[in-house]
């Protein structure tokens, strides 16, 4: 698996979980304080996220960070 494939897979999983919980991208921005463009890039596999960003997103979605990698 390439780094690009890894990031795309993780981003897809973040988006799937967010949508399954009916949380809009704008709501994630409000809850997390992360810029909308950064969240969008993460979900589209175009941004390498930092550990604390992933933890913040996981906390809001009430999942473990490891759920993004399954």
Residue 68 belongs to some domain of the structure: no
Which residues are CB-neighbours of 46 under 8 A, at least 6 positions away?
A: 7, 11
Residue 66 belongs to some domain of the structure: no
Give how many domains the chain has, as a whole number: 1
Question: What token pair was written down for 24?
Answer: 């809009």
What's residue 21's pLDDT?
A: 97
Select the more confidently predicted residue: 49 or 69: 69
pLDDT bracket for residue 51 (50, 70, 90): low
Neighbours of 5 (CB within 10 A): 10
Domain residues for 24?
3-61
Residue 55 belongs to some domain of the structure: yes
DSSP letter for 47, please.
S
CATH number of the domain residue 37 falls in: 1.10.260.40
Residue 22 belongs to some domain of the structure: yes
Tell me the per-residue pLDDT of 11-47, one tens digit each, with 9 for 90 and over: 999 999 999 999 999 999 999 999 999 999 989 988 8
Residue 70 belongs to some domain of the structure: no
């Amino acid at each position: 698996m390439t780094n690009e494939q890894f990031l795309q897979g993780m981003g897809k999983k973040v988006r799937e979980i967010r949508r399954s919980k009916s949380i809009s991208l704008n709501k994630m921005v409000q809850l997390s304080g992360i810029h909308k463009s950064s969240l969008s890039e993460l979900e589209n596999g175009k941004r390498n996220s930092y550990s604390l960003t992933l933890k913040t997103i996981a906390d809001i979605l009430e999942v473990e960070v490891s759920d993004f990698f399954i």
